[in-house]
Chain A
Amino acid sequence: MDYFLRCLKFILPAAKVTLLLTVAALALGLVLGLLLAVARIYGRPPARSFAAIYSRVVRSLPTLVVLFLVYSFVTIVFGIRGVTTAVIALTACTAAYQSEIFRGAIQSLGTGQMAAARSLGMTKSVAVRSVIIPQALRLAIPSWSNEAAIVLKDSSLASAIGTTEIFRRAQQIGAANHDYLPAFLACGLIYFCLTFLTNRVLDYVQKRYRLKL
């Protein structure tokens, strides 16, 4: 029990890194995902096929493959190191999944919204920005919450490309003491609390901003 608490104390500071990875990847992925979804639905053919192919390819690959490829690419080509590589890699993944979430949301709005906005004299881009996206974002909240939980848990895979987040810390203290079980249980407990909190917050957001069609 004493050792379990020591593990908890050792691992807990790294929760900052896990949260940073999760929040940064989710936020950047939100922007990119929206862009990809809009490109997919309203874009010209080259943008449209790029968005479709990107989403198809990334969603067919294990997160670890994307992590390794993106990690190699940004370290070799741009010389980026440290946590940033993990953020970029996780963003590359979640952007693809989020683009599908937003695409679904935009498509469930129907074409009437766009036609009505256009008939009021809005340009296509204004209509997308001020009519389509605000509604699509609110419609997407339930699926987006799922994705948020997935990214939180997948951030543990960043330990494979050398990021010291909570899973890596658990490995470290476990290896140092040759006693793994309490270390990983402590790590699991932290993840469980984090997912629980994330779910509660997003449930609240959903209740507050839900859009029923």
Chain B
Amino acid sequence: MAVTLAGLMAIDIVGELEFIWRILPELGKGLVTTLELTALALTAGLVLAVPTAVVRTYTRGPLNWLFTAYVEVFRGTPLLVQLFVVYYGLPEMGIVFDRFFSAWAALTLNSAAYQSEYIRGAIMSVSEGQLTAARSLGMRPLQAFRWVVLPQALRLALPAWSNEVAYMVKYVSVVYMIALPELFTRGAMIRSRTFKVWSPMISVAVIYLGVVIGITRVMDYVEKRLRIPGLESGHGGREY
């Protein structure tokens, strides 16, 4: 133990800081890729999640079963398996995507399954009377949903959704397993290239810490602005 401690004390601090300064641009590029993937997967996920939630809330029969199966399968298996099915599995059926697109597709499908659950919960917590009222004003079902239920549901789903944002920033790192150079992958690549065990990973950790705390702050502000007074539903969603 004493030997190890002595070893730790003997670290050349100035040299390490210089090293970190030199790898910073590379990590910065990785961070951009991480944020791109997060933003693309979250928005595409939301676009898929709304119809999924609608079908699961308002319809019965085969279509409902299909979407329920989709959500349960993607929530019941690891993202890693989904990613590998898309990146290594689908090419065997003649469907070939590049790394970035595979990662985006897997992250989107995964996130959409979770997001649809938050939205479904939110839709169900908007009272049915509102739909009836909208219909009695002469709105067609789709209009009533679009103009009365959905705006409220999206705002109710926001606390869970903002957890999903922070969650995705972190979970994008899983694409390390298909060697897509985002933030974590770049850190791990520098680690094995330079045989430096600590500085690259600790730098990566500090960057994630800053980014995730920053995003949490921003989402807290957005939540405060958009909440429906008197109807706060608490948090929920995938904890980050």
Closest partner residue, chain A, to B237 (CB atom): A146
Are B208 and A191 neighbours in the complex by a CB distance under 8 Å?
A: no
A203 interface contact, C-beta 8 A: no
Tally of contact residues, A, Cβ under 8 A = 42
A108 to B160, CA, bound (A): 19
Within 8 A of A (CB), among B58-80: 73, 75-80
Are A65 and B239 neighbours in the complex by a CB distance under 8 Å?
A: no
Write the A155-176 contact mask toward B (1 if CB under 8 angstroms, else 0): 0110110000001001100100
Interface residues on B, range: 35 or more
With beta carbons under 8 angstroms apart, the residue of A60, A180, A191 that contacts B89 is A180
**Also in contact, A62 and B198, with CB within 8 A (given A188-B77, A188-B81):** no
Are A62 and B184 neighbours in the complex by a CB distance under 8 Å?
A: yes
Are A167 and B174 neighbours in the complex by a CB distance under 8 Å?
A: no
A156 to B177, CA, bound (A): 11
What are the residues of chain A within 8 A of B204 when measuring CB–CB?
A: 65
A102 interface contact, C-beta 8 A: no
A57 to B202, CA, bound (A): 12
What are the residues of chain B within 8 A of A185 when measuring CB–CB?
A: 85, 89
What are the residues of chain B within 8 A of A187 when measuring CB–CB?
A: 81
What are the residues of chain A within 8 A of B93 when measuring CB–CB?
A: 181
What are the residues of chain A within 8 A of B171 when measuring CB–CB?
A: 62
A153 interface contact, C-beta 8 A: yes
Write the B211-240 contact mask toward A (1 if CB under 8 angstroms, else 0): 011000000000000000000000000111
With beta carbons under 8 angstroms apart, the residue of A65, A77, A170 that contacts B205 is A65
B47 interface contact, C-beta 8 A: no
Are B173 and A64 neighbours in the complex by a CB distance under 8 Å?
A: yes
B127 interface contact, C-beta 8 A: no
What are the residues of chain A within 8 A of B176 when measuring CB–CB?
A: 64, 160
With beta carbons under 8 angstroms apart, the residue of B4, B174, B198 that contacts A72 is B198
With beta carbons under 8 angstroms apart, the residue of B80, B198, B209 that contacts A156 is B80
A69 interface contact, C-beta 8 A: yes
What are the residues of chain A within 8 A of B44 when measuring CB–CB?
A: none
What are the residues of chain A within 8 A of B186 when measuring CB–CB?
A: none
A63 interface contact, C-beta 8 A: yes
Within 8 A of A (CB), among B81-137: 81-82, 84-85, 88-90, 92-93
**Also in contact, A180 and B77, with CB within 8 A (given A61-B208, A160-B177):** no
B32 interface contact, C-beta 8 A: no
Sample 25 A-B pairs with CB under 8 A, ordered by A number.
A59-B239, A60-B209, A61-B208, A62-B171, A62-B184, A64-B176, A65-B184, A68-B191, A101-B239, A143-B239, A154-B78, A156-B78, A156-B81, A157-B80, A160-B177, A170-B81, A179-B92, A181-B89, A181-B90, A184-B85, A185-B89, A187-B81, A188-B77, A188-B82, A191-B77
Other than the given A68-B201, A187-B81, A188-B81, 6 more pairs (CB < 8 A) read A59-B240, A61-B208, A63-B170, A154-B78, A180-B92, A181-B88
